Amino acid sequence: MREGNLEFEFPEGWTVARYDQWTFHNQFQNICGGAKAADFCGITPDRGTTWLIEVKDYRQYRRTKPSELPCEIACFRDTLAGLACARVNSNDEQERTMADLALRTGRLRLALHIEQPRQHSKLFPRPYQPADIQQKLKTLVKAMDPHPLVVDMHSARTDWRVTSSDH
């Protein structure tokens, strides 16, 4: 599955959807002034874990304000609300089924996948330090996932692989 210039390869047996492209999300996002969406919703083969994955690629579109990140993390909250509504109100049977499966697992995990320029300098510093993001994310989403992940394509802490079509 592709998100921008990044190709995500999930393990065999996973059920994965591009939640931000669901028909239901397009209807749901207009509620309360706009709802954000995680890029991927994935369910492990044993149906034990639902993963919500948000992808940010700052290699092409540089960010300089780390303070913007917490607002973008609202996608996890909004996606959960959207899944709950899609479970009963989506007109798309596949979306209803996926939402139901996602909400029936025993565990919710959150992952923020951030790509930043590999080389940085004083002129173009790295706007986000992964350890700082990890700590902030833990504080913001602890009620949903006390151990969220902050990863990039070089991380070995996920079951999925990510490659870039830039190279």
Nearest to 3 by CA among 76, 57, 62: 57
Task: Answer whether residue 94 is part of any domain.
Answer: yes
- Joined together, the tokens standing for residue 34 give 């706009």
Sheet with 161-164, edge to edge strand ranges: 2-3, 6-9, 161-164
Task: Answer whether residue 8 is part of any domain.
Answer: yes
pLDDT band at 43 (very low <50, low <70, confident <90, very high): very high
Task: Answer whether residue 149 is part of any domain.
Answer: yes
Average pLDDT over residues 8-32: 91
Q: What is the pLDDT of residue 62?
A: 61
pLDDT band at 53 (very low <50, low <70, confident <90, very high): very high
Question: Count of domains in the chain?
Answer: 1
Task: Answer whether residue 102 is part of any domain.
Answer: yes
Q: Which residue has the higher pLDDT, 18 or 134?
A: 18
Q: Biggest alpha carbon distance in the chain? A: 51
Average pLDDT over residues 113-134: 73
Task: Answer whether residue 19 is part of any domain.
Answer: yes
> How far, CA to CA in Å, does 31 sit from each of 24, 27, 36, 93, 94?
12, 8, 10, 22, 22
Range of the domain at 48: 2-162
Concatenate the DSSP letters of all residues of 32-80 into one string: GG-----SEEEE-TTS-EEEEEEEEETTTS----GGGHHHHTHHHHHHH
pLDDT band at 124 (very low <50, low <70, confident <90, very high): low
72 with 141: CB under 8 angstroms?
Answer: no
Query: Which DSSP helix (H) or strand (E) runs through 107?
Result: strand 107-115
114 with 56: CB under 8 angstroms?
Answer: yes
Residue 102 CB neighbour total at 10 angstroms: 26
Which one of 22-31, 62-71, 102-111 scores highest in mean pLDDT? Answer: 102-111
Q: What pTM, to 2 d.p., does this model score? A: 0.89
Q: What pLDDT digit, counting tens, does each position of 22-35 carry?
A: 999 988 888 767 88
Q: What is the pLDDT of residue 71?
A: 64
Task: Answer whether residue 167 is part of any domain.
Answer: no
